[in-house]
Amino acid sequence: MAKERILVVEDDEDILQLLKYNLAKEGYQVTGVTSGEDALKNLKSGAMDLVLLDLMLPGVDGLEVCRRLKREARTGQIPIIMLTAKGEEADIVTGLELGADDYITKPFSPRVMLARVRTALRRRHAEPLAEAAPLKIHELVIHPGRHEATVADRPLDLTVTEFRLLYMLASRPGWVFSRDQIVKGVHGDDYPASDRSVDVQVVSLRKKLGLCGKYLETVRGVGYRFRG
């Protein structure tokens, strides 16, 4: 059975070839393009299972590509992993808010990149959370089986990672989870993530929660909790 199809969008030819080589070696079907315009054209002509997307692209940049993909029904469910340079935290948060699923900071190790790709694809094909009674905390309602969350009856546009993070914290209100526990609970034991990546995801989730963002609390020196 053929492996999943991955589109790599990267304008640095050396990085593009490195990504294509390592992904193809793992058996993935890889297409590489160097601009946002070519990425959008490619996705119109054929389906992809995942997109590795550089944010700093000439012309149509990575954030605009992400925005366009996530607002279209045909491409909205394709996982997007952003490729970012150090110091682009504001763009990372914006990308997560637009619906990107994860990010990798350059320079990166091919091993870490492949682990992130495997995790994103595994989440996409995984069975949804078992049907269970909705969680209700203040104005927030989470429907685990339907993979939906609302605040004051307003639907939240959450990525898979954000939904799992929210469900993990909200299902144990008042419990404090370390960053390491969050990584393992959301991504699994073999996921190579830093504490900083958890912090960035929490920043994005807080913004999306709006008036309920205040209930997602930082416990200094320990981690995070959702106040019930």
pLDDT at site 1 = 44
Q: Which residue has the higher pLDDT, 203 or 187?
A: 203
Same domain, 110 and 198: no
202 Cβ contact list (under 8 Å, min separation 6): 165, 216, 218, 224
Distance CA 171, CA 208 (A): 18
With respect to residue 43, please indicate whether it lies within any of the assigned structural domains: yes
Residue 12 to residues 22, 32, 50, 90, 110, Cα–Cα distance (Å): 16, 11, 19, 22, 16
CA nearest 171: which of 184, 158, 185? 185
Neighbours of 147 (CB within 10 A): 14
Last residue of a domain, one of 125, 152, 184: 125
Amino acid at the residue 164: R
pLDDT at site 141 = 93
Same domain, 48 and 80: yes
Give 165: exposed, middle or buried? Use CB within 10 Å, 0-12, 13-18, 19+.
Answer: buried
Same domain, 60 and 90: yes
Residue pLDDT, tens place only, 84-129: 887 677 888 888 888 888 889 888 899 999 998 998 888 766 545 5
CA nearest 179: which of 219, 142, 207? 219
Same domain, 48 and 94: yes
With respect to residue 44, please indicate whether it lies within any of the assigned structural domains: yes
pLDDT at site 27 = 93
Residue pLDDT, tens place only, 2-31: 589 999 999 999 999 999 999 999 999 999
pLDDT over 80 (residue 133): no
With respect to residue 130, please indicate whether it lies within any of the assigned structural domains: no
The helix/strand/coil state of 194 is coil
Last residue of a domain, one of 81, 106, 125: 125
Residue 167 to residues 90, 102, 218, Cα–Cα distance (Å): 25, 18, 16
Domain CATH number, residue 69 = 3.40.50.2300
With respect to residue 222, please indicate whether it lies within any of the assigned structural domains: yes
Number of structural domains found in the chain: 2
Average pLDDT value over all residues in the chain = 87
Same domain, 192 and 147: yes
Residue 177 to residues 63, 144, 197, Cα–Cα distance (Å): 31, 20, 15
Tokens 């589109």: give the residue: 7
Amino acid at the residue 61: D
* Alpha carbon 5 to chain centroid, angstroms: 18
Q: What is the pTM of this model?
A: 0.67
Last residue of a domain, one of 125, 152, 177: 125
Same domain, 108 and 189: no
Domain containing residue 168? 135-226
Domain CATH number, residue 215 = 1.10.10.10
What percent of the chain is modeled with pLDDT above 90? Answer: 49
Residue pLDDT, tens place only, 34-44: 999 999 999 88
Q: Please, what is the end-to-end C-alpha distance for the chain in angstroms?
A: 47
With respect to residue 76, please indicate whether it lies within any of the assigned structural domains: yes
